[in-house]
Amino acid sequence: MKWLTFTFLTFVLILLLWATSDLPSRANPQSPANVHLSPEFTKLTETEIHVPNIVSAILADFRGYDTLGETFVIFTAGLAVLLVLGSHGRKKKDPRKK
């Protein structure tokens, strides 16, 4: 069983390394996000959204569903932690004892 786990984790590591090799380099001004998305978001924020803070406009309007999904994941993780830690201290009462 350990051999299967090791093989699977090695495969996942190789897959992740291969996938990250296709990402654009960090702080590259010619990356697709900097060339296509950033100017469009900046232009639309000023003309259509009318929000003074550009970060709030992008997070709330353009990426609203993404932000909602991230909030849901954090809420679910917090709830899971509370359930795991909260159930540890409870003890069942013996119905025979009063």
For residue 56, tell me if it sits in a domain: yes
Q: Is 45 exposed, middle or buried (0-12, 13-18, 19+ CB in 10 A)?
A: buried
Total tally of structural domains belonging to the chain: 1
Answer whether 0.75 is exceeded by the pTM: no
For residue 12, tell me if it sits in a domain: no
CA-nearest of 56, 33, 57 to 45 is 57
pLDDT digit string (tens) for the chain, length 98 residues:
889 999 999 999 999 999 999 887 788 888 887 888 888 888 888 788 888 888 888 888 888 898 899 999 999 999 999 998 886 656 666 667 66
For residue 17, tell me if it sits in a domain: no
